[in-house]
């Protein structure tokens, strides 16, 4: 199915599709079913399915602003190609707790996902089984969140739609993301990693590993990675220059203080690291 859909999407982007809206509907339906995805594991790494992102972008272009909503309470105005996702009738045990959460069409939520209000999950995102998305959390466009992940309150998993070849944010299985964390610009969080509250991971800011006495920076593709099992806390590093030194100015820097050993859960590792 995906090979045929890929041909249809590329034809639509090239202006050769007979019914672009029908192609968009097929793409969003397959994304919601989990049969296609914006990025997927590829050996030890990940690969981007650029055609999926191209199809999503084209769906925005052909859409028209239209009123949406329900009754007298909820009112929206958005592209008519992207209504909200309806969880009713699916064969997966997904909980979306009442209170202001929105899941956009074209997002996939696996069995056992719980979304607390209010939260937002954007088009192309994929959330694995048993993952908790807590209040005020964001799962951005095309972000790939694994199974058994905990996204704590107000955590932000950024979206990456453009450029189409850029890897979206990847949060692998069993990751614990603390409150008010930010993961942006296609960052990859390795399996079982723990981010303490307030950690910000972005390709512009190096990650300092105190355990291995090394510094992790973005690779040639602009992707910065947190190693599997790393326990990361907010830190600072001194700023270069006489003026900064004189004023004692430091910049924020994520710091790896230990690695999980598999004998304790994420919350216990985090508590130990912060003491």
CATH number at residue 139: 2.160.10.10
Low-confidence residues of the chain: pLDDT under 50: none
Confidence (pLDDT) at 18: 82
**Is residue 105, in this structure, part of any structural domain at all?**
yes
Write out pLDDT tens, residues 78-93: 999 999 998 888 889 9
Confidence (pLDDT) at 268: 63
Cα–Cα distance for residue pair 5/60, rounded to 1 Å: 18
Cα–Cα distance for residue pair 130/150, rounded to 1 Å: 9
**Is residue 58, in this structure, part of any structural domain at all?**
no
DSSP 172: -
Q: Please list, in sequence order, all residues whose beta carbon lies within 8 angstroms of the beta carbon of residue 173, skipping any fewer than 6 positions away.
A: 128, 146, 147, 148, 149, 191, 192
Confidence (pLDDT) at 71: 65
**Is residue 36, in this structure, part of any structural domain at all?**
no
**Is residue 11, in this structure, part of any structural domain at all?**
no
How are the residues of the chain apportioned to helix, strand and coil, as percentages rounded to the nearest 5?
Answer: 20, 30, 50
| Radius of gyration, CA atoms only, the chain | 20
Element (H, E) at 121: strand 120-121
- In this structure, the number of other CB atoms found within 10 A of the CB of residue 93 comes to 11
Confidence (pLDDT) at 87: 86
**Is residue 217, in this structure, part of any structural domain at all?**
yes
Confidence (pLDDT) at 75: 80
Cα–Cα distance for residue pair 123/126, rounded to 1 Å: 9
- In this structure, the number of other CB atoms found within 10 A of the CB of residue 33 comes to 13
- In this structure, the number of other CB atoms found within 10 A of the CB of residue 88 comes to 6
The structural domain count of the chain equals 1
Tell me the residue range of the domain where 219 lies: 79-274
Cα–Cα distance for residue pair 177/189, rounded to 1 Å: 10
**Is residue 159, in this structure, part of any structural domain at all?**
yes
Confidence (pLDDT) at 264: 63
**Is residue 4, in this structure, part of any structural domain at all?**
no
**Is residue 5, in this structure, part of any structural domain at all?**
no
Asked if 169 and 183 touch (Cβ cutoff 8 Å), the reply is yes
């Amino acid at each position: 199915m995906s090979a045929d859909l890929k041909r249809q999407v590329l034809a639509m982007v090239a202006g050769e599709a007979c019914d672009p809206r029908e192609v968009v509907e097929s793409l969003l339906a397959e994304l919601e079913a989990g049969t296609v995805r914006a990025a997927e594991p590829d050996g030890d790494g990940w690969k981007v399915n650029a055609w999926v992102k191209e199809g999503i972008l084209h769906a925005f272009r052909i859409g028209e602003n239209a009123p949406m909503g329900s009754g007298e309470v909820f009112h929206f105005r958005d592209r008519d190609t992207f209504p909200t996702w309806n969880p009713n009738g699916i064969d997966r045990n997904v909980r979306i707790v009442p209170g202001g959460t929105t899941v956009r069409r074209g997002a996939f939520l696996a069995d056992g996902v719980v979304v607390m209000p209010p939260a937002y999950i954007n088009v192309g995102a994929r959330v694995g089984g048993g993952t908790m998305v807590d209040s005020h959390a964001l799962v951005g466009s095309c972000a790939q969140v694994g199974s058994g992940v905990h996204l704590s309150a107000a955590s932000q998993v950024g979206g990456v739609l453009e450029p189409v070849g850029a890897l979206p944010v990847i949060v692998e299985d069993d990751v614990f993301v603390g409150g008010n964390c930010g993961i942006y610009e296609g960052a990859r969080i390795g399996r079982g990693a723990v981010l303490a509250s307030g950690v910000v991971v972005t390709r512009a800011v190096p990650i300092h590993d105190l355990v291995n006495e090394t510094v992790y920076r973005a690779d040639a593709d602009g992707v910065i990675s947190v190693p599997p099992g790393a326990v990361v806390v907010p830190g600072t590093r001194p700023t270069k220059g006489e003026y900064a030194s004189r004023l004692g100015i430091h910049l924020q820097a994520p710091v790896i203080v230990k690695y999980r050993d598999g004998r304790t859960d994420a919350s216990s590792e985090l508590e130990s690291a912060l003491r």
